[in-house]
Chains A and B, each alone.
Chain A
Amino acid sequence: ETGVTQTPRHLVMGMTNKKSLKCEQHLGHNAMYWYKQSAKKPLELMFVYSLEERVENNSVPSRFSPECPNSSHLFLHLHTLQPEDSALYLCASSQEWGQDLQETQYFGPGTRLLVL
């Protein structure tokens, strides 16, 4: 079993749909992250969860709603998205959260989302 898995790998949805992205880590980590990767732009950190509590929300629109039911699972609920939300959504995890701990983040393969 690979360290960080994401499902689905590809998703096409209309602007009125509701869908969810799932991330699961098998590394025993306490921190999990959602990133957005758009063409020609740096990775954008969206949310950070540490011990199942949200510790960072980088001005992400409310049409993206994260959920962390336990330290191994992270969801990103999507509703009424826009075409500009089409991107690769990457999940990552690290042992702990915080710069002082110099933690390496381990990434999943991503979900490629297309909003029509």
Chain B
Amino acid sequence: AQSVTQLDSQVPVFEEAPVELRCNYSSSVSVYLFWYVQYPNQGLQLLLKYLSGSTLVKGINGFEAEFNKSQTSFHLRKPSVHISDTAEYFCAVLTDKLIFGTGTRLQVFP
């Protein structure tokens, strides 16, 4: 069965610091990978996705993620975070349906 693991439930970080949110997946077939962000009291918004091609994917708001097939990972990174990046971040894998991880709460402090 396919699954997605987000190892960190919460990541506190100071403003302007770099951040990495970890995501690992398990799948025996080709996968498509997504990162979504959920701001307080809002629905999910697509940050970026990997379908094929370059393993480094750039998304909105300065985020990027790297697909690593050998490590079955799709970690999300941002070199310098802002207060406004405080939100819940969800990694997801699309097989026959979209399967989400449990989410990582990114808390950015001034």
A residues contacting B by CB (< 8 A) are 4, 6, 40-43, 45, 48, 56, 90, 92, 99, 102, 104-110
| Shortest distance between the CB of A51 and any CB in chain B (Å) | 17
| Size band of the interface chain B makes with A | 20 to 34
A107-B44 contact, Cβ under 8 Å, with A42-B4, A99-B32, A102-B51: yes
B residues contacting A by CB (< 8 A) are 4, 32, 34, 36, 41-46, 49, 51, 90, 94-103
Chain B contacts for A110, CB-based, 8 A: 42-43
| Shortest distance between the CB of A48 and any CB in chain B (Å) | 7
A102 contacts B43, C-beta separation under 8 Å: no
A45-B98 contact, Cβ under 8 Å, with A102-B32, A102-B51, A104-B49: yes
Bound CA span A67–B34, Å: 28
Residue of A42, A48, A110 most packed against chain B (CB within 10 A): A42
* B100 partner, pick from A6, A42, A48, A99, beta carbons under 8 A: A42
* A105 partner, pick from B51, B98, B103, beta carbons under 8 A: B98
